[in-house]
DNA sequence: CTATGATGGAAAC
DNA sequence: TTTCCCTCATAGC
């Protein structure tokens, strides 16, 4: 479930759950025992995010770096941590008010501040970072012969956008995914960037990705993604705006969805 | 019950 | 470009 909004939300939730608590850090599943020992008994000073990366700043220049990948997930509970019910808990952190369990993440490691800088240097602009302006990613995009559908997925161009935001933001812009970066007008990308900023901020608040305007969904939002999206995972269904069948095709190894009528060059 | 794919990305070819 | 990591909801029998 993790695009950038999920990551930011996790950081906020974990900060408020733990405050400055001294934490018990462990690895019930056993694959992160030595790392957990480095952190056990410490209090988190701050939690930083960039794109899909989480950085928990512990004392002694020890930084817990987590990347959830496709299937990684945190669960959060109040009160004392129970014996893990289902699945393998790679990392558990317990404070005085509650605990978090981590399963399935791609990256869980304790790193130095220098290593953090190395990781950040590889990442592009994060739409959730208010200080970043659209011209920064556009400098890379406007030089690229790759398509905007490819570029939006590249974390060294824009950090935090994943397959859902890619499809949805292109639909909302009325832009074909197949337009090359170097052919993209600056005002079109500026509008996409601003839309991403506002969609992702809403995503942090709601803890889910909802991109449809109320007027395009009869004002109703159902469970299980019902009416949440314009095109994502709607292949073969009717476009909410024009009725054309939504199309799908693999792009950058992921299923891209778009409306061939509403989205053009 | 088993099979598959999923909001990701690194490593191996 | 393909394989692998790792977990779980959902689809299909």
Label each residue of A25-76 as H, E or C. Answer: EECCCCCCHHHHHHHCCCECCEEEEECCEEEEEECCCEEEEEECCCCCEEEE
Q: Is the C-beta of residue A7 closer than 7 Å to nucleic acid chain B?
A: no
A114 catalytic per annotation: no
User: Per residue in A195-250, pLDDT tens?
Assistant: 999 999 999 999 999 999 989 987 788 887 889 999 999 999 999 999 999 999 98
Q: What is the mean pLDDT of residues A72-84?
A: 86
Which nucleotides on chain B have any atom < 7 A from a protein Cβ? Answer: 6-10
Two structure tokens written together for A181: 């970066």
Q: Which residues touch strand C (CB under 7 A)?
A: A 29, 31, 69-71, 73, 86-88, 90, 103-104, 106, 224, 253
A237 catalytic per annotation: no
pLDDT band at A82 (very low <50, low <70, confident <90, very high): confident
A78 catalytic per annotation: no
Task: Round the average pLDDT of chain A to a whole number and report it.
Answer: 92
Q: Which residue has the higher pLDDT, A193 or A223?
A: A193
User: Per residue in A95-126, pLDDT tens?
Assistant: 999 999 999 899 999 999 999 999 999 899 99
Catalytic site residue from A3, A90, A103, A137: A3
Residue A127 burial (CB count, 10 A): 27
CA of A123 to C1' of B3 (A): 36
A254 catalytic per annotation: yes
Q: Which nucleotide is nearest to A156 (CA to C1')?
A: B9
- CA dist A126 and A200 (Å) reads 10
**pLDDT exceeds cutoff 90 at A252:** no
Most confident of A54-58, A247-251, A252-256: A54-58
In the prediction, which pLDDT does A20 show?
A: 93
Buried b (16+ CB within 10 A) or exposed e, A202-230: ebbeeeebbbbeeeebeeeeeeeeebbbb
Helix (H, G, I), strand (E, B) or coil at A238: strand
The answer to whether A179 and A148 have CB atoms below 8 angstroms apart is: yes
């Amino acid at each position: 479930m993790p695009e950038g909004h999920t990551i930011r939300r996790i950081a906020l939730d974990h900060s408020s759950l733990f405050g400055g608590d001294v934490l018990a850090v462990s690895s019930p599943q056993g694959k992160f025992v030595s790392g957990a020992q480095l952190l056990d008994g410490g209090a988190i000073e701050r939690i930083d995010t960039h794109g899909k990366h989480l950085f928990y700043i512990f004392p002694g220049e020890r930084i817990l770096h987590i990347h959830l990948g496709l299937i990684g997930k945190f669960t959060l509970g109040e009160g004392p941590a129970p014996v893990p019910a289902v699945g393998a808990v790679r990392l558990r952190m317990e404070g005085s008010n509650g605990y978090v369990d981590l399963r399935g993440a791609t990256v869980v490691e304790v790193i130095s501040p220098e290593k953090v800088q190395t990781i950040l240097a590889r990442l592009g602009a994060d739409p959730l970072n208010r200080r970043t302006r659209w011209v920064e990613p556009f400098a890379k995009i406007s030089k690229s012969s790759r398509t905007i559908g490819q570029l939006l997925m590249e974390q060294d161009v824009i950090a935090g956008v994943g397959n859902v935001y890619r499809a949805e933001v292109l639909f909302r812009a009325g832009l074909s995914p197949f337009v090359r970066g170097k052919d993209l007008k600056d005002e079109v990308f500026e509008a996409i960037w601003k839309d991403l900023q506002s969609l992702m901020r809403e995503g942090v608040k709601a803890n889910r990705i909802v991109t449809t305007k109320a007027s395009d969904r009869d004002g109703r939002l159902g469970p299980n993604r019902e009416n949440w999206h314009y095109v994502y995972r709607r292949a073969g269904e009717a476009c909410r705006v024009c009725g054309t069948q939504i199309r799908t095709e693999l792009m950058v190894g992921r299923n891209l969805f778009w409306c061939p009528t509403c989205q053009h060059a």
